[in-house]
Structure 1
Amino acid sequence: MVRVALITGASRGIGAATALVLAEHGYRVVVNHRASAPQAEEVVATIAAAGGEAVAIKADVTVPNDVTAMVDEIDQRWGGTDVLVHNALTPFAITSFAELSWEQLGGKLDSELRAAFLTTKAVVPGMVSRGYGRLIYLSTGLSRRAREGMITLGTAKAALDQFVRYVALELAPHGITANLVAPATVEGTKVAEQVTAERLRELAAAAPMRRLARPDDVAKTVAFLASEDSGFTTGHYLPVNGGLEMD
């Protein structure tokens, strides 16, 4: 059976790498984007050139009607969504607690959980009806390990982590797994672009493998969780950090 994977925020970085890796594994891939159609279409074209199937769909994952329309289009085109990779990153402020406003913190919490909630709500009924599903959410090591200036992102992702555990608990009897992938700083991503070059060098040096994570490192971990081989793995937080943290 050919599985269908929806990757939110898939026009670049981790999302694009995940789309390419899942397509290589035989998935039909939905490349979601909010406002980057040319990049999304480039990902689709790369997949098609390699013999895969993909489509780009524009949708803001914090807007209910957009999410509903996107999932309906997938249902009509390919019969449903088997794998959700929720990767889309909503904006956040880099600031100290001293300078932090409630609007900054509360706004990030709202957008982070709203996007995860809406996309999950949209795909789960179909997964339940088919008795199969893979839900994968991109978190961050900052949800467990604080770093100066990253209070909004770290706090919002910590809330996402717990949301996913509750989803995993409730949906396990239906053959649906829900897991978190938590990379350290990933080169070439929007988060990395907000960090100085000197700080990126320091972060790379701090990892035992002496480099930053790469989008493919994350995508390959996601691919395992998207596979049927991961069927007894649910509610877990999988770091991709080159040994920066070891539990």
Structure 2
Amino acid sequence: MTHATTPGTALITGSSRGLGAVIAQRLADDGHPVAVVYRSGAQAAEAVVAGIRAKGGTAEAFAADVTDEAAVTALVAEVADRLGPVTTLVVNATGPQPEVDPTEVTWQDHLDQLTFFVKSPTLLMQAALPAMRERGGGRIVQIGSDVIERVLPDMSAYTAAKAAQHSLTEIWARALGPDGITVNTVAPGWIPVERHADVPADAMTAYAADVPLRRMGVPDDVAAAVSYLVSPQAAFVTGERIRVNGGHALG
């Protein structure tokens, strides 16, 4: 039986907190053994694992730098040993997103973003691919952003990298489709998580006022989209970019 009908091990990068932690819990609720991957913050990762186990799910925490080739290869092998072959890959890890005037952006600024949103996804896909092919299929979901439509001048490096990331999604969807592997992007708007704790309430109010649904999104909104895309119900959906932003980027 292929991954298209049987939940397999799900590896979620950057899942010790924020969107990744909620996605990990949702996929565990769906029946996937879950690899909670983090770069720092072991205590937070173990808390996510404990939460999953408390609800009857299966999870383990794994520390890895997902921008390093050797580390990614070792990670996917360790997850397979402890939880089973990775057949669902959720590329969620991110790094700092500084705001820089586009006239002052450096090539290093671009490289920093491309490392997270082009290099790391490529390494992860390549490491997970053999098991997906062997099992007759798999799911890859990249966590993108609606920033591509918002055209924010001070976010040029981040925006360019996020656009490149979705281009990978489309190319991989075409290339890996014959292997039964679907590849999609979930593109959230501004979804407040722990790192936004110091954002003034009036800033969120102003943002929500510009959202057609008149509210901020919550992590569960993103997790629900990921859950759908890795489910059997989405077996014929690939190469798509689903915005989860309450219509905020509509023209």
Report the TM-score range of the alignment, normalised by the length of the smaller protein. Answer: over 0.9
Q: Alignment partner for residue 213 of structure 2, among 206, 209, 212?
A: 209
Deviation at 1:155?
Answer: 1.1
Q: Which residues of 2 match residues 1-247 of structure 1 at below 5 A?
A: 1-188=6-193, 190=195, 192=196, 197-246=201-250
Distance 1:111 1:24, change over 3 A: closer
Q: TM-score, normalised by structure 2?
A: 0.93
3-state SS, counterpart of residue 239 of structure 2 = coil
Determine the C-alpha separation between the residues in 1 that align with 2:202 and 2:161.
26
For 1:33-67, what per-residue CA distance to the aligned partner results, in whole angstroms no more than 9, with x for missing partners? 00011000000000111111000000010011111
3-state SS, counterpart of residue 31 of structure 1 = strand
Distance 1:163 1:189, change over 3 A: farther
For 1:135-170, what per-residue CA distance to the aligned partner results, in whole angstroms no more than 9, with x for missing partners? 000000012321242212111100101011101100
Does the CA-based 8 Å contact 1:141-1:239 persist in structure 2? yes
Determine the C-alpha separation between the residues in 1 that align with 2:108 and 2:142.
24
For 1:107-155, what per-residue CA distance to the aligned partner results, in whole angstroms no more than 9, with x for missing partners? 2223321111111111011101111100000000012321242212111
Report the count of equivalent residues: 246
Q: Which residue identity does 1:8 align to in structure 2?
A: T
Unpaired runs of 5+ residues, structure 2, are 1-5
3-state SS, counterpart of residue 144 of structure 1 = helix
Determine the C-alpha separation between the residues in 1 that align with 2:187 and 2:198.
18
Unpaired runs of 5+ residues, structure 1, are none
Does the CA-based 8 Å contact 2:141-2:183 persist in structure 1? yes
Determine the C-alpha separation between the residues in 1 that align with 2:135 and 2:65.
26
Deviation at 1:194?
Answer: 8.3
Determine the C-alpha separation between the residues in 1 that align with 2:97 and 2:250.
27
Does the CA-based 8 Å contact 1:90-1:112 persist in structure 2? no
Does the CA-based 8 Å contact 2:149-2:249 persist in structure 1? no
